[in-house]
Amino acid sequence: MAAGVLGAPRVPCHLAIVHDLQSGLAKSLEMTRVPVLANLITWLERQTLNRVDRIVTLSQDMVEAIRTIGVKTPIDIIPPTVDDTLIRPLPVRPGPFTALYSGNVTRLRASFP
């Protein structure tokens, strides 16, 4: 953001992949009780996203959230889905297996001593 404001040369295309808005996360987790800080985060997101050439996100709801903060940049939706007619499981092999986990689908509250 700072480099863009200071006039750094532009590359041919800037693409932003947006999964979450930090301003929305900060508000929902009550991390920004000071209105000036919440407004600053939203302003930074708006300024940054309005400077890219295109935005990619996962859903129409996220498009609406991005538009709500004042972003005018073109947005494409690429949903996180799989065509299950093309994906087939591998045959089961004997022995130990590997389980992978990515992400979190709940609100996490951590406490540290």
Give the Cα separation of 57 and 96 in Å (integer): 36
pLDDT of residue 11: 61
Q: pTM value?
A: 0.62
Q: Which tens digit of pLDDT belongs to each residue from 65-107? A: 999 999 999 999 998 887 778 877 788 888 887 777 776 665 5
Whether the CB-CB separation of 48 and 66 falls below 8 Å is answered with no
pLDDT of residue 26: 75
